Amino acid sequence: MGGEVRNDATIMAALGRQMTRAVQRQAVAAGNLANVDTPGYRTKEIQFADALDQELGTSAPAATNSRHFGAGAILAERPDPTDAKGLATRRDGNNVQMDRELLALNRAAADFSAAETVLAAKFRLVRYAINEGR
């Protein structure tokens, strides 16, 4: 039974991290779109490999509160956005591509929604287990 609790906490923490990363990717894409007309602006992105290396290198996630259930990984240090490579640059030095950023926004929203759906299903199962115990 103790293994199941740890497994549930691990799953919920992973879903929380996925949702946090999706929000980070949305924020970067929104920032890029906001600067589409800024001369010299360089497109930013969060590298998946950097985020993965950071997650794998984290041995003990920080906790917001010792009583929070699986919340520690949410406040783990964020990977810094880097300049995107290989994008065509306009005459004004800007390389933001609206289609690319809109696609990034949609993908991040889909990732967030998928994690949210799984998390909601997990909470429904917990609620069902609690109500059946009455």
Residue range 70-89, pLDDT digits in tens: 444 444 456 789 999 999 99
Determine the pLDDT at residue 125. Answer: 86
Determine the pLDDT at residue 25. Answer: 95
| Spans of all domains in the chain | 2-132
| Element containing residue 112 per DSSP (H, E) | helix 98-132
Segments of the chain with pLDDT less than 50: 1, 59-63, 69-76
Rounded CA-CA distance 80/129 in Å is: 41
Determine the pLDDT at residue 126. Answer: 83
Rounded CA-CA distance 61/39 in Å is: 40
Determine the pLDDT at residue 130. Answer: 87
Nearest to 95 by CA among 106, 104, 83: 83
